[in-house]
Amino acid sequence: MSLPPPNHPCWLRLANGAMSHLRTQNLAAQLLTKRLERSTAAAVVKASLIREFFLKWEPTLGDEIQQLTHL
Protein backbone atom coordinates (compact mmCIF):
# COMPACT_ATOMS: atom_id res chain seq x y z
CA MET A 1 0.00 0.00 0.00
CA SER A 2 1.30 3.44 -0.86
CA LEU A 3 1.19 6.60 1.19
CA PRO A 4 -1.77 8.95 0.83
CA PRO A 5 -1.00 12.18 -1.06
CA PRO A 6 0.19 15.23 0.91
CA ASN A 7 -3.25 16.87 0.73
CA HIS A 8 -5.09 13.85 2.18
CA PRO A 9 -6.97 14.74 5.40
CA CYS A 10 -5.39 11.84 7.31
CA TRP A 11 -2.20 13.88 7.82
CA LEU A 12 -4.05 16.67 9.63
CA ARG A 13 -6.04 14.14 11.66
CA LEU A 14 -2.78 12.52 12.74
CA ALA A 15 -1.33 15.92 13.61
CA ASN A 16 -4.39 16.77 15.68
CA GLY A 17 -4.07 13.74 17.94
CA ALA A 18 -4.94 10.63 15.95
CA MET A 19 -1.27 9.66 15.90
CA SER A 20 -1.71 8.40 19.47
CA HIS A 21 -4.22 5.83 18.15
CA LEU A 22 -1.74 4.36 15.68
CA ARG A 23 -0.97 0.74 16.56
CA THR A 24 2.75 0.32 16.12
CA GLN A 25 5.71 -1.58 17.48
CA ASN A 26 8.08 0.81 15.71
CA LEU A 27 10.04 2.70 18.35
CA ALA A 28 10.73 5.68 16.07
CA ALA A 29 6.99 6.09 15.41
CA GLN A 30 6.27 5.88 19.13
CA LEU A 31 8.90 8.54 19.85
CA LEU A 32 7.53 10.78 17.11
CA THR A 33 4.07 10.47 18.62
CA LYS A 34 5.33 11.59 22.03
CA ARG A 35 7.33 14.45 20.50
CA LEU A 36 4.29 15.69 18.59
CA GLU A 37 2.08 15.51 21.68
CA ARG A 38 4.44 17.91 23.45
CA SER A 39 4.94 20.19 20.47
CA THR A 40 3.30 23.60 20.22
CA ALA A 41 3.78 23.72 16.44
CA ALA A 42 0.83 24.34 14.16
CA ALA A 43 -1.09 21.29 12.96
CA VAL A 44 0.08 21.91 9.38
CA VAL A 45 3.71 21.76 10.49
CA LYS A 46 3.09 18.59 12.48
CA ALA A 47 1.29 17.02 9.51
CA SER A 48 4.26 17.76 7.30
CA LEU A 49 6.66 16.18 9.81
CA ILE A 50 4.49 13.07 10.06
CA ARG A 51 4.33 12.66 6.29
CA GLU A 52 8.11 13.16 5.99
CA PHE A 53 8.62 10.47 8.62
CA PHE A 54 6.39 8.04 6.75
CA LEU A 55 8.10 8.82 3.45
CA LYS A 56 11.50 8.12 4.96
CA TRP A 57 10.51 4.88 6.68
CA GLU A 58 7.86 3.68 4.22
CA PRO A 59 9.54 0.29 3.55
CA THR A 60 9.36 -0.66 7.23
CA LEU A 61 5.96 0.80 8.13
CA GLY A 62 3.58 -1.35 6.10
CA ASP A 63 1.19 -2.10 8.98
CA GLU A 64 1.14 1.52 10.08
CA ILE A 65 0.53 2.81 6.54
CA GLN A 66 -2.52 0.56 6.23
CA GLN A 67 -4.00 2.30 9.27
CA LEU A 68 -3.48 5.89 8.07
CA THR A 69 -6.76 6.48 6.28
CA HIS A 70 -8.76 4.77 9.03
CA LEU A 71 -7.56 6.90 11.94
Among 65, 60, 33, smallest CA distance to 49 is for 33
47 part of a folded domain: yes
Domain holding 40, by residue range, is: 9-70
pLDDT of residue 71: 86
Instruction: Name the CA dihedral angle for 23, 28, 32, 34, rounded to a multiple of 10 degrees.
Output: 70
In a domain, 36, yes or no: yes
| Predicted TM-score (pTM) of this structure | 0.92
How confident is the model over 26-69, as pLDDT tens digits? Answer: 999 999 999 999 999 999 999 999 999 999 999 999 999 999 98
- Quick count: other Cβ atoms within 10 Å of Cβ 53? 18
Q: Is residue 1 part of a domain?
A: no
In a domain, 4, yes or no: no
Number of domains in the chain: 1
Does a structural domain hold residue 42?
Answer: yes
Indicate the DSSP class of residue 7: T
Question: How many C-beta neighbours within 10 Å does residue 46 have?
Answer: 23
Residue 39 lies in a domain: yes
